[in-house]
Amino acid sequence: MSDRIISWHGNPSKPLYTPPPGAIDAHCHVFGPMADFPFSAKAKYLPEDAGPDMLFALRDHLGFARNVIVQASCHGTDNSATLEAIAKSNGKARGVAVVDPAISDADLAALHDGGIRGIRFNFLKRLVDDAPKDKFLEVASRLPVGWHVVIYFEADILEELRPFMDAIPVPLVIDHMGRPDVSQGPDGADMKAFRTFLDSRDDIWFKATCPDRLDPNGAPWNAFADAVAPLVADYQDRVLWGTDWPHPNMQDAIPDDGHLVDMIPRIAPTAELQRKLLIDNPMKLYWPEETIA
Ligand SMILES: O=C(O)c1cc(C(=O)O)oc(=O)c1
């Protein structure tokens, strides 16, 4: 692999929309810094450094209070960079790890102590070499209490993954809604299939994220807003939101993070929907001890 890439905006705008106090960016990543946390030998992209100081500066600039840091594929199963970012956050970040499925129970417990509350299974062939379902199921059956599984897949393998996902005994969180083709509209085949999946269990959550990845027409992402707003309204107690900063692999269409935040009122138009999306829902998954039972 050769040049390191930059996939994030150098000077994102200040959003016009102000998130409510306590709002959580529930999907973001850190890259490196490489000198301290080298990238995986199996990484499919080699980014410039985008460490915790940059992430927390962006959090403040955009008007958020907390982050959920999802282990990026370029760091493989070494969660040190994610753990270091959580440790530096003064309790304002928690995370999702990617683990070798053979991880010991003691190492899972250590991840919990470091602020991890879930593990991620990635099924995108352009990001990972293999995704062993049998091994994933085994580790999913012995996670620390309160953890969930985050799954990243593309819409064309939703049906194929159903038996596997149905067998996971903890809550599921689906990254980027399983990448529907939002240009099909709110009643398109991909959205319908995703709704059927959501209706199969009441503990499937999803992230209404990544208009930049999912809207083939680009900014201002009208197709994304049209397709996703009804989903947020209908599943308002199970939806999360995040920037996806530093936008892995988006170097050819880098989104302005301020504009991403300005999508929030377009997919969640009322104060109540916004509170659920940005505070109540992510708090239940990541800071449950602070929520009233
Ligand atoms: O679509 C992607 O390229 C992508 C990659 C990663 C990662 O490399 O972990 O995470 C994401 O949420 C999205």
- Euclidean distance between CA atoms 122 and 101, whole angstroms: 13
Pocket test for ligand 1, best of 175, 215, 249, 250 (most atoms within 8 A of CB): 249
Query: Does residue 243's CB lie within 6 angstroms of at least one atom of ligand 1?
Result: no
pTM of the entire structure? 0.98
Query: Does residue 249's CB lie within 6 angstroms of at least one atom of ligand 1?
Result: yes
Per-residue pLDDT of the chain (293 residues), as tens digits, is: 458 999 999 999 999 999 999 999 999 999 999 999 999 999 999 999 999 999 999 999 999 999 999 999 999 999 999 999 999 999 999 999 999 999 999 999 999 999 999 999 999 999 999 999 999 999 999 999 999 999 999 999 999 999 999 999 999 999 999 999 999 999 999 999 999 999 999 999 999 999 999 999 999 999 999 999 999 999 999 999 999 999 999 999 999 999 999 999 999 999 999 999 999 999 999 999 999 66
The encoded tokens of residue 176 equal 């980027």
Query: Does residue 28's CB lie within 6 angstroms of at least one atom of ligand 1?
Result: no
- DSSP annotation string for the chain: ----B--S-SSPPPPSS-PPTT-EEEEE--B--TTTSPPPTT-S--BPPB-HHHHHHHHHHHT-SEEEEEPPGGGTT--HHHHHHHHTTTTSEEEEE---TT--HHHHHHHHHTTEEEEEEE--TTT-S---HHHHHHHHTTPPTT-EEEEE--GGGHHHHHHHHHT--S-EEEGGGG---GGG-TTSHHHHHHHHHHHT-TTEEEE---HHHH-TT-TT-HHHHHHHHHHHHHTTTSEE----TT-TT-TTSPPPHHHHHTTHHHHS-SHHHHHIIIIIHHHHHH-GGGS--
Bridge partners, residue 121, by sequence: 151
ipTM over cut 0.90:
yes
